[in-house]
A and B are shown apart, each in its own frame.
Chain A
């Protein structure tokens, strides 16, 4: 750990001593982990382990009680949510949250990383570059034929993809996904795994997932959380055979 700390500059994301307490209950407790660039990291753990809270902390939705989160050397814990997004962190929520009234195209357009200020949004024009970018992202997320559909008509799985697309178009360096395959069919799951493989060519990805099959498909490394702390960390095989993990999470 000491060694890791000293060269934390090389990490894309360095979380150290992160703690958050809700009225005395420590949902995340002195948590540390490090992400390499272009790695796919999966966080697993029993319900209530604090996984979602970790993402909340990184993206600024919840404020840390103590500890630090450094992203490319910049401290995130003091930044506002939109500044964190601008610095290159994208986050997908556990329940799909897309703009139901807007079309797929418009959903992606709203996420396009331009015109983020009030005046910028007033001046923003839909030019060819924007349209091309949106179409290319739509292809990646398997929705190129549905651009004109209102998002409310999409299936649950398609909404999840759309939300991932809305992250992609922001060109973040770190993408955080909270249970991206929950509620998906087997086929959709396969496609999502493919999608993540494509994404990781250019992004670092931090995924929360319960489905061990899926985790095995995608993960470079796995972090197991339990009661707000890291229980175990390493390759999927390492984690699967860790007796502590079997005890609290995987079961015998």
Chain B
């Protein structure tokens, strides 16, 4: 119906950024990398879901959650439970004292499938749970905290404590959760072997596709009044409240959104690595997710994707060659990003690369007067009335918060 706006959008600068990312993920990397490496990239991308959620929640709305691993993990565990049940057919587990239940339950002298595992026999339920369980928990936390106006450092600490609680709980309840080893030895998804190279490659493309769905959802929110309210809330909470908005509802919404994204990422993570364990959801893992977002640029959803890719690639690189140096690098990254580059990669791109782009654009002979005027004011986005928010143009200004 609106062909031309879509085409126009892809030709706009913002559209080009998305196109470039799509090209990188759909063409360049699959061509360059073997199946093993591509699967690694797929794994990194599952963290990008969390990072996009954090951009919305922390970068835009100013709510720092140090417990995103919880939602990532819940999504991942939901998927793992389904896959584990599929792998634990009575035939496959015939040597157990109770065949037909997951092996770790048998090792822990559990003789029947616990009630909360039952629904995970259904794939449809699992799909709902992957998003539903994280969102439900986020909803409970959000309602409890935001309606009482808890925010800032307090909120960060409470979410961190929740990450700690969940990890200890999962490790402690071995019989129900697989304990510290997690849920391992996952094989098939509805009969389809997920361990083969073809399956891994297919899963990679599914991940990329879903990533773009999330990117576009986040982008839509940003462009709408909703996105503007989120940002406004961050700096002028009272003004928003006394302009007639229920601030708590908006915070709950964005926190649940971030939880949903994280849940999707977690489920894909389980599929891509073939197991799920508490080490991906604890305090350390959760706070690392924040750095993916911070490195990319806390206000840029595209930056978040690059941030997740880069940090994880660096982590793998380091742990292959200099594992003992990685914590230093990670620590330096935290300090450096916060102190020197609060706008992350997106900010650097904006200050150093965008001016070059501007010059390139201006050199084109066809530029008419109006475009020139816009080009001289780089902070202004093309389009009517500042309606458009360029993802890379939002600047985080430390003084204001």
Contact = CB atoms under 8 A, between A and B. Distances in A.
Interface of A: 59, 61, 80-82, 85-86, 90-91, 93, 97-103, 105-106, 109-111, 113, 115-118, 121-124, 126, 147-148, 166, 170
A117 B400 CA distance: 26
A99 B239 contact: yes
28 contacts: A80-B246, A81-B241, A81-B242, A82-B245, A85-B242, A85-B243, A93-B242, A98-B239, A100-B400, A101-B400, A102-B228, A103-B386, A109-B228, A110-B225, A110-B240, A110-B243, A111-B243, A111-B244, A113-B244, A115-B225, A116-B246, A118-B253, A121-B225, A121-B226, A121-B245, A122-B221, A122-B225, A166-B243
Nearest to B233: A99
B235 A101 contact: yes
Contacts of B236: 97-99
Contact of B386 (A80, A100, A106): A106
B243 A61 contact: no
Interface residues of B, number: 28
Interface of B: 220-221, 224-226, 228-229, 231-232, 235-236, 238-247, 249-250, 253, 385-387, 400
B225 A124 contact: yes
Contacts of B244: 82, 85-86, 111, 113, 116, 170
A172 to B, nearest CB: 9
Contact of B243 (A102, A105, A122, A170): A170
A103 B389 CA distance: 12
B231 A101 contact: yes
Given A61-B238, A86-B244, A99-B232, A117 B249 contact: yes
A223 B209 CA distance: 64
Given A99-B236, A110-B229, A105 B242 contact: no
Nearest to B254: A118
Nearest to B246: A82
B195 to A, nearest CB: 40
A105 B380 CA distance: 14
Contacts of B250: 118, 121
A82 B387 CA distance: 26
Nearest to B386: A103
A198 B245 CA distance: 27
Nearest to B250: A118
Contact of A122 (B224, B231, B245): B224
A105 B236 CA distance: 17
Given A106-B386, A110-B225, A110-B232, 11 more contacts: A59-B242, A81-B241, A90-B242, A93-B242, A100-B400, A102-B232, A105-B385, A111-B243, A122-B225, A126-B387, A166-B239
Contacts of A109: 225, 228
Contacts of A61: 238, 242
A104 B368 CA distance: 27
Contacts of B246: 80, 82, 116-117
Contacts of A100: 235, 400
B249 to A, nearest CB: 6
Contact of A148 (B242, B249, B385): B385
A122 B232 contact: no
B226 A93 contact: no
Given A82-B241, A117-B249, A99 B235 contact: yes
A61 B149 CA distance: 12
Query: Which of B220, B221, B246, B253 has its CB near the most chain A CB atoms (within 10 A)?
Result: B246
Top 7 nearest A-B pairs (CB, nearest first) are A85-B244, A121-B226, A124-B225, A121-B225, A97-B239, A122-B226, A118-B253
A63 B223 CA distance: 36
A143 B229 CA distance: 22
A101 B236 CA distance: 11
Contacts of A123: 224
A9 B220 CA distance: 46
